[in-house]
Structure 1
Amino acid sequence: MAKLPRRKCANKECRQWFHPIREGQIVCSYQCASAVGKEQTRKAREAAQRKAQSLQRAAEKKERATWRQRKAAVKPLKHWIDLTQRAVNDICRETELAEGLGCISCGTKTAFAWHAGHYRTTAAAGHLRFTRFNIHLQCDVCNVYKSGNIEAYRTALVERYGEAAVLALENNNTPHRWTVEELKEIRLAALADLRALKKAGGRMKPELIEILRMRWQRLRIYRRPGSVLVDYRIPAQFCSYLSVHRILLNEHSIPPVCT
């Protein structure tokens, strides 16, 4: 029988060269075999423990997700409406601030706090609570202390969009009952655009603002296309966001949620 080529001992504390006497021999002595066996047993035990811990974490994660779903299922519709309203108000307010616009009612550009004011209130026209044409930037004085300052609000809307558009908004009384799925879709879209706007530092070019508006117009949220825009700069990362994420959608991506 030919002599097997020499090799190094598999024991890390030995690592001596030796000539194996049989195929598959990896150690030079019984002592090294015992040490290697103990090391392999330790590694196998640790791997089994890691696997058990991983399975336990996965089970706990699944259990938490199930619990969250159960809690979400019993939450009233008003809870989801309020969450969505906050997200939509945030993107409406921050977008107009990025455009350099002031209060829709009094025109001021300095306020203690900025609000997203509804022309037709959510109590009177709940089907328009997410309609972007119905939501504009307002200062805290007009929105809170003057109860919306509706007369000046309407005058500004007519100057900005025309009498016909305002009358169409005022005569839109088609009821709509929101569903949890619709609210989730609107909320996620608003939060995605808000993150992109904050990442861009609040500076947007007119064409990019128009892309956002065209997208939200299909959701019946954003202002109608064609409104006057102010030229703002925007970093390159927001341009990449527009091209990679869900801004440029095809006509069948997001169905309208309200007619």
Structure 2
Amino acid sequence: MATGKKPPKPKKCKCCPERFIPRTSTQTVCSTKCAIQLAKQLSDRKKKHQEKLDRAAWNKRKDDVKPLKHWEDATQRVVNDYIRERDRDLPCISCGTWTTVQWEAGHFRSRGAASHLRYDEDNIHKQCHRCNAELSSNAIPYRAGLVVKIGSQRVEALENNNTPHRYTRDELKSIRMHFRAKLRALKLEAA
């Protein structure tokens, strides 16, 4: 006469390819040797996970110690890369040359005079090294080229924008991510 209990189904051991009949419903390994091996694996995973968390916390602490200038410069590099890629097929906005030692992202209103516009796309355009560095942005021809490129209303809006703004780390991070995405999209279009 049957008692109504089903015999346990064979399971595959978590450590070795053996199949075994478990003595309890929670048994996952076939032997004590496999249980010790499984415990070591779980312990190693836990250690690696903790190391990863510790590294992340350390990097965050390191990032918190860095001055705001570090983040401004990192953001400016990404924005400048985007501007050079955006204006890749255009000449220097100031002098119109197609050849230079190095292409740069020149600001119409300098970062020193208008730091709140340092990441504004209307304020930054491709310039040759001579106009940007040697002629200090070559402002008069820059303005003329800017009027042709974006229109006089937007140029006047740039010139009249004197609202001060101090960027935070979070703002700089979001600006950096925004321009990285735009740069990636431009590079995909070009390919």
Q: TM > 0.5 between the two?
A: yes
Aligned length: 169
Percent same amino acid at aligned positions? 49
| Partner in structure 2 of residue 112 of structure 1 | 101
Counterparts of 2:39 and 2:145, CA distance in 1: 69
Q: Give 1:36-47 correspondences, 5 Å limit.
A: 40-47=31-38
| Partner in structure 2 of residue 155 of structure 1 | 144
1:27-67 per-residue CA deviation (whole Å, 9 max, x = no partner) reads xxxxxxxxxxxx73333222222211111111111111111
Structure 1: runs of 5+ lacking an equivalent: 2-9, 13-23, 26-38, 204-234, 236-259
Q: TM-score, normalised by structure 2?
A: 0.79
Counterparts of 2:109 and 2:96, CA distance in 1: 19
User: Is residue 196 from structure 1 mapped to residue 161 from structure 2 by the alignment?
Assistant: no
1:138-186 per-residue CA deviation (whole Å, 9 max, x = no partner) reads 1112111221111110110122223332122111101111111111111
| Partner in structure 2 of residue 145 of structure 1 | 134
Q: What letter matches 2:180 in structure 1?
A: L
Change (3 A) 1:59 1:87: same
Higher relative contact order (CA 8 A, sep 6+): 2
How far residue 129 of structure 1 moved from its aligned partner, in angstroms, is 0.3
Equivalent of 1:83, from 74, 85, 90?
A: 74
| Partner in structure 1 of residue 25 of structure 2 | none
User: Is residue 94 from structure 1 mapped to residue 85 from structure 2 by the alignment?
Assistant: yes
Equivalent of 2:162, from 170, 173, 176?
A: 173
User: Is residue 128 from structure 1 mapped to residue 105 from structure 2 by the alignment?
Assistant: no
| Partner in structure 1 of residue 5 of structure 2 | none
Q: Secondary structure at the match of 1:115?
A: strand
| More displaced 10-residue stretch of structure 1: 126-135 or 58-67 | 58-67
User: Is residue 67 from structure 1 mapped to residue 58 from structure 2 by the alignment?
Assistant: yes
Counterparts of 2:185 and 2:35, CA distance in 1: 47
Q: TM-score, normalised by structure 1?
A: 0.60
Change (3 A) 1:73 1:194: same
Structure 2: runs of 5+ lacking an equivalent: 2-11, 23-29
User: Runs in 1 of length 4+ with deviation above 3 angstroms?
Assistant: 39-42
Check conservation: 2:97, 2:128, Cα contact below 8 A: yes
Counterparts of 1:41 and 1:112, CA distance in 2: 71
User: RMSD of the TM alignment (CA)?
Assistant: 2.4
